[in-house]
Amino acid sequence: MLRPFTLHRPETAEEACALLAELGEDAAAYAGGTELLLLMKLDLLRLRHLVDVKRIPRFGEIGPGPRATSGARLTIGAAVTHRAVERSPLVGARCPLVASVARHVANVRVRNVGTVGGNLAFADPHSDLATLFLTLDASVELVSPRGRRELPLGDFVRGPWETARAADELLASVTLTPWGGDTAAAYVKFGVYERPTLAVAAALRLDGTAGAQRSGDRIVDARLAIGCVGPTPVRLADVVIGVLPQKQHLHFVVWRIFQSIEDVFLRWEDGVIAPLLRDELLQLLEVRLVELRRQHVAPALRDALQVHRGISTG
Ligand SMILES: Cc1cc2nc3c(=O)[nH]c(=O)nc-3n(C[C@H](O)[C@H](O)[C@H](O)COP(=O)(O)OP(=O)(O)OC[C@H]3O[C@@H](n4cnc5c(N)ncnc54)[C@H](O)[C@@H]3O)c2cc1C
């Protein structure tokens, strides 16, 4: 049962932050409510005030974002819904994979009201967006009565359900740096019910200029991130693989991803899970990983590369 609360509907970020500062622990920002209202209904969270951020104009916009030396960027306001991301022509043009991942978040009911900002601010380790956005060098913009600040997404998400956001700060937007046209990218998730339980994002940059003879056969570097296996999504150190014989490129990338998943999982489990349970989990994970590698990740990466240039990946 939902306990009574007051819904505040400020029109500006300043007003919303002032409310959060004044109401303190009794209040929280409220966007789509898909996580917040659930916790309140289960009585896991007791709040007497919700501060709706959906009327703040800039929070609901998708725009080109500030230009970076690396080229055009993309800014998505915190109150933009997954559905709007999926349908945005700008997202489709600049980051088509982001649009296609948005299409597979949760179910249509959640996508219609759930927001990008709510997803990132909630910091669920099972967030598709946080994992994918790490490979897009995402940074988040936070606003508060003290002004605005920008943080790399990797520094913003600190742990499971924990971020660097102060109590009176709001997440205003996230800015992505789209990959260049010489990149093939894939996102693969393995889900139980509607939530992802293991996710891999991979963007592979190819050598040479478009259209050049046999260009694209070499993968010059790979940006990889994995989600759901640790307390936060993890961006792996960029892998430079141009030196490997051509036929091994894809196999190397896939091998590297799975080696890192196991590393992250082992590191995490060391700290929090009893040894007996850990062994069982590892056995389970091993079966899952083999299945995931064979059936999902390797084919998805191969498809991404083939669609990109029609190249042979060996
Ligand atoms: C059934 C189900 C399936 C799901 N499946 C997936 C999935 O497959 N992949 C995936 O990535 N996610 C999934 N999710 C999570 C979903 O993406 C989030 O529920 C949604 O995006 C959260 O956004 P919201 O607007 O509803 O947040 P709310 O519930 O309104 O808020 C969530 C949290 O963020 C805070 N918050 C919200 N906006 C701001 C802001 N602007 N600034 C600061 N703090 C803010 C709130 O105070 C709260 O703590 C699933 C959720 C459900 C319920």
3-class DSSP state for residue 198? strand
Last residue of a domain, one of 152, 176, 200: 176
Asked if the model's pLDDT at residue 206 lies above 80, the reply is no
Task: Tell how far the Cα of 183 is from the centroid of ligand 1, in angstroms.
Answer: 29
pLDDT of residue 210: 44
Last residue of a domain, one of 153, 176, 199: 176
Asked if the model's pLDDT at residue 4 lies above 90, the reply is yes
Q: Do both 28 and 66 map to the same domain?
A: no
pTM for the complete prediction?
A: 0.85
Q: Do both 93 and 133 map to the same domain?
A: yes
Which protein residues touch ligand 1 with a CB less than 6 Å away? 28-36, 53, 78, 105-106, 110, 114-115, 117-119, 121-122, 127-129, 165, 170-171, 194-196
Q: Do both 120 and 172 map to the same domain?
A: yes
Instruction: Give 77's strand partners.
Output: 173
Greater confidence (185 vs 9) lies with 9
pLDDT of residue 257: 67
CATH number at residue 44: 3.30.43.10
- The domain total for the chain is 3
Query: Does residue 37 fall inside a structural domain?
Result: yes
pLDDT band, residue 160 (cuts 50/70/90): confident
Greater confidence (253 vs 76) lies with 76
pLDDT in tens, 85-116: 999 999 999 999 999 999 999 899 999 999 99
Range(s) of the domain holding residue 40: 6-51
Q: Do both 16 and 82 map to the same domain?
A: no
CATH number at residue 206: 3.30.390
Q: Do both 171 and 188 map to the same domain?
A: no
Rounded CA-CA distance 133/156 in Å is: 12
Q: Any long-range contacts for 57-62 (C-beta under 8 Å, 24+ apart)? A: 58/13, 58/172, 58/173, 59/13, 59/117, 59/170, 59/172, 59/173, 62/88, 62/90, 62/91
**pLDDT average, residue stretch 147-158:** 96
Query: Does residue 16 fall inside a structural domain?
Result: yes
Ordered alpha helix ranges (H), 88-243: 89-94, 96-102, 108-113, 116-122, 128-134, 153-156
pLDDT of residue 225: 86
Asked whether the beta carbons of 58 and 10 are under 8 A apart, the reply is no
